[in-house]
Structure 1
């Protein structure tokens, strides 16, 4: 259903945001 699809999209979105944050932290630590 639509609710399940929205939930999956939210989970994927959170995973992408989390990976981007981790990537940014790695870059910051690499520069320091």
Structure 2
């Protein structure tokens, strides 16, 4: 089972990954 800490960690990683992807698109597009 996932602990709440692990769930929070993966949630933050996914959010950071989305942010990086958005930034890359922004840089490539602009």
| Fold-level similarity (TM above 0.5) | yes
Q: Paired residue for 2:5?
A: 7
Q: How many residues align?
A: 29
Question: Whose radius of gyration is greater, 1 or 2?
Answer: 1
Structure 1: gaps (5+ residues): none
Q: Which residue of 1 aligns with 2:27?
A: 29
Q: TM-score scaled to structure 2, two decimals?
A: 0.88
In the TM superposition, structure 1's runs of 4+ consecutive aligned residues that sit over 4 Å from their partners are: none
**Unmatched 5+ residue regions in structure 2?**
none
Within 2, Cα distance between the matches of 1:18 and 1:8? 15
Q: Which structure has more helix as a fraction of its residues?
A: 1
